[in-house]
Structure 1
Amino acid sequence: MSPEAADGTRSGRRNDPDRRDRIIDACLDVIAESGVAGASHRRIAAAAGVPLGSMTYHFDGIDDLLRQAFTRFSTMISTRFEERLAAASDLESARAAVVEIIREDVFGSTREFVLSHELYTLAAREPAYRALTTAWMQRSRAALERHFDVDTARLLDAMIEGISIHRALDEQVRDEAEIAVAVERITTP
């Protein structure tokens, strides 16, 4: 065994086992800042602090990197959504969980809003990304269906998405108490 192999290096360079993950995280950061249109290999490599060659070593191209980054993002959001609803034990706590999802998760981060809508834009044009958003919606609805019937779950999911758009684009500030009213109206038979 060479001395380099013994100390975890190759050609005198340290092994970087987290490089691929850093690139994916940097890709999401670049998209949040500059949009998908601004997400180039060069810009993402600089944001990740890695050599440009790492991009083609770890990914089959920018499309592969974008798909993997958006998969990570949608999985993270879906997991948080599922965890909030899994903690609910009855109708009232399920309603409160939906309100919390909207207030804390949907309204909580401009970065996540931008990433979501960048993904939606790609999904509107590209079937591979549509598969990601479809899987995301299915997970959201399945989590909602733990507490609500199928039709109500679909309405709540659509309301959550719609209210995020209104919150981001409407210049009129709305009272957050409206969220609880909307959730109650949708979930009352």
Structure 2
Amino acid sequence: MSRSLTPRSRSRPRRDALLRAAVEVIAEHGVAGTTHRAVTERAGVPLATASYYFDSIGELITEALRLFAEERARELAPPARAEGDDPASPEAVAAWARDRFVDVPELQRLAFFEMVVRSARSPELAESRRVALDSYRHAAQAALDALDAGGDPRHARAFVALHLGFSLLRLTDPRDDDGEQLFAAMRELFAGQRLVERGETPAGDGG
């Protein structure tokens, strides 16, 4: 078993510091520029610490991006709908997701897209990419479930595409009203998917 996956190493504060430092270094310098020295200096720990917890820089990068993706998914997911509660409104779910989108630091967005793009050429990052995208899909599915519109799991993919598209635009062409635009787009998407789930036709859709 890899040392980084044992219960003993998981609980170590220095390991956590390395993982969080790695995300910052990846965002600033890319995967290619992420080294043991750069990460340990950012974390404020001795150089040998990295090789104690991780077998390679690739393993450190993979674990760091996995942690980042899982934390972001938890932050994005709306509160679970209790049994017997009425479905949430599209406005409420869209506002929940918008608030968490706007607050994402630029370095975290850079790290995410660096991982996604790099994974196309680096097989060792494929698992991190899968975990990251699955985490976002699970958050989207939770949002649809809160709307009582989660019958078709394929619908969650549209939410993920919308969220990631806005995230990329915010990196390259940020606007003051990005939050308002994202809220409106998600509200309409959620409202339309709930109508489809109920067998109704969204306004302006044929007929």
Aligned pairs (5 A) from 1:49-128: 49-82=44-77, 84-86=78-80, 90-92=87-89, 94-102=90-98, 104-108=99-103, 109-125=105-121, 126=123, 127-128=126-127
Q: Is the CA contact 2:74–2:139 (under 8 Å) kept in the aligned structure 1?
A: no
C-alpha RMSD of the superposition: 2.5
Residue 4 of structure 2 is matched in structure 1 by none
Q: How many residues align?
A: 171
More divergent stretch after superposition (65-74 vs 30-39): 30-39
Shift of 1:173: 5.1
175, 183, 187: which one aligns with 1:184: 187
Q: Aligned in 2, Cα 1:36/1:140: closer, same or farther, shift over 3 Å?
A: same
Q: Aligned in 2, Cα 1:177/1:28: closer, same or farther, shift over 3 Å?
A: closer
Q: Aligned in 2, Cα 1:70/1:182: closer, same or farther, shift over 3 Å?
A: same
Residue 169 of structure 1 is matched in structure 2 by 172
Shift of 1:35: 2.1
Q: Any idea what the Cα deviations from partners look like across 1:128-157, whole Å, max 9, x if unmatched?
A: 333223432332233133123334432222
TM-score (norm 2): 0.71
Instruction: Look at both structures and tell me which one has the larger radius of gyration over its CA atoms.
Output: 1
Question: Is there any run of 5+ residues in structure 1 with no aligned partner, and where?
Answer: 1-16
Shift of 1:87: 6.6
Q: Is the CA contact 1:107–1:167 (under 8 Å) kept in the aligned structure 2?
A: no
The structure with the greater share of residues assigned to helix is 1
More divergent stretch after superposition (157-166 vs 132-141): 132-141
Cα distance in 1 for residues equivalent to 2:96 and 2:74: 15
| 4+ aligned runs moved over 6 Å, structure 1 | none
Cα distance in 2 for residues equivalent to 1:115 and 1:87: 31
Matched, 1:21 2:19: no
Residue 142 of structure 1 is matched in structure 2 by 141
- AA of the residue aligned to 2:40: A
Shift of 1:174: 4.3
Question: Is there any run of 5+ residues in structure 2 with no aligned partner, and where?
Answer: 1-11, 196-207
Q: Aligned in 2, Cα 1:157/1:98: closer, same or farther, shift over 3 Å?
A: farther
Q: Is the CA contact 1:59–1:65 (under 8 Å) kept in the aligned structure 2?
A: yes
Matched, 1:157 2:192: no
Q: Aligned in 2, Cα 1:165/1:134: closer, same or farther, shift over 3 Å?
A: closer
Q: Which has the higher contact order (CA 8 A, sep 6+)?
A: 2
